[in-house]
Structures are given as structure tokens and as C-alpha cells.
């Protein structure tokens, strides 16, 4: 189990789109396992490779309560969106901040699995929201981009303040 470092806004690497995955090998499968471990530990329900400094079109998702419905999206593209929902979103790259974002209620997705095999998926509700959120990451966008300029500036100030504050250490820690 290897935990990866999650990048936090305003890290500029979060704005870089991921490149297409061309090689489906053991190294990719290990990266996917590490991403799931990192996501579960955080805890979260989705994690894009770009959030951990890996500039690839790769994301992992598990919206189940039991954490037993692992989904992998490689080179994903949205084929269709429908309906409308306002959902409260948070992000592992913007820790501690939540806000309402307008999203499509239903999506149809085309992606590849861990072996490079293409698949299509229709999703709604929380899974559809999570798919859209992670695909945004893969394209260099964050959920806060859907907020007003005022709210986005406030989040930036909060995140920059957190980065500047000295980290508290416990006795015996390095």
C-alpha cells in the first residue's frame, strides 16, 4: 500500500490537463491501486491522477457505502448529459471547503478499463456528479471554477493561509 501526496489548490499542477494513457501495464495497475488506497485513506469518493501529480487521463471512483464498488476511468469522455441537479461538492484538493455546484443529473460515459478495453456507462445521481467532477480534474478544472469570483478568491486566500501556517508536530514526530 503506497499513499500518494494529494496536491492542494492553488498548486498550478491541478490546472494541467492529463495526457492520454497509451500503455496498460503492471505499472499502471499499481498506480491505480495506490490511487484507491490514497482515496480511501483521505477519505474520498473519487480521485484523479492529476490530483496526485500524475499527468494522465486516469481517475478512480467508489461512491458505495461499503467501499467495494471500485470504478476506473481511463481516457474518459462524456458522450451525453441530461437533467439538472444542484449538489454540495467538496474536493480532496480543496480540503475543508464545500459548496453547491450545478451539474447534469445523468451522464453517459465512454472510457477504458485497466486492460485498455473500452466500455460505456450510464450513471445518475451521486455517481454522475462524481464522474463529472473527476473528468473536470483531468481537464485542469476544479469544482470551485463553477463558483463566483468572490467565493473563488475566498477559497484561494483560505488555502494560501493554510499553506503558510507552520504545521503542528506531535512529540517524537519529525
Active site residues per annotation:
134
Q: How many CB atoms lie within 10 A of CB 58?
A: 29
Cell of 53: 501529480
Does residue 2 contact residue 125 with C-beta atoms inside 8 Å? no
Q: What are phi and psi of 131, to 5 degrees?
A: -60, -45
d(CA 157, CA 72): 33
d(CA 131, CA 120): 13
Nearest to 7 by CA among 65, 92, 79: 92
Q: What angle do CA 82, 86, 89 make, to 5 degrees?
A: 115
Does residue 37 contact residue 2 with C-beta atoms inside 8 Å? yes
Amino acid at each position: 500500500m503506497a499513499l500518494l501526496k494529494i496536491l492542494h489548490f492553488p498548486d498550478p499542477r491541478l490546472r494541467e490537463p492529463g495526457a492520454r494513457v497509451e500503455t496498460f501495464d503492471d505499472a499502471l495497475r499499481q498506480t491505480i491501486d495506490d490511487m484507491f488506497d490514497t482515496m480511501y485513506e483521505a477519505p474520498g469518493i473519487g480521485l484523479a491522477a492529476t490530483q496526485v501529480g500524475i499527468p494522465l487521463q486516469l481517475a478512480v471512483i467508489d461512491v458505495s457505502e461499503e467501499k467495494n464498488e471500485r470504478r476506473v476511468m481511463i481516457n474518459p469522455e462524456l458522450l451525453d448529459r441530461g437533467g439538472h441537479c444542484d449538489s454540495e461538492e467538496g474536493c480532496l484538493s480543496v480540503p475543508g471547503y464545500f459548496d453547491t455546484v450545478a451539474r447534469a443529473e445523468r451522464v453517459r460515459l465512454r472510457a477504458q478499463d485497466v486492460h485498455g478495453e473500452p466500455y460505456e456507462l450510464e450513471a445518475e445521481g451521486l455517481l454522475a456528479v462524481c464522474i463529472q467532477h473527476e473528468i473536470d480534474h483531468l481537464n485542469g478544472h476544479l469544482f470551485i471554477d463553477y463558483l463566483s469570483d468572490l467565493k473563488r478568491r475566498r477559497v484561494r486566500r483560505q488555502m494560501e493561509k493554510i499553506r503558510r501556517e507552520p504545521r503542528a508536530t506531535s512529540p517524537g514526530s519529525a
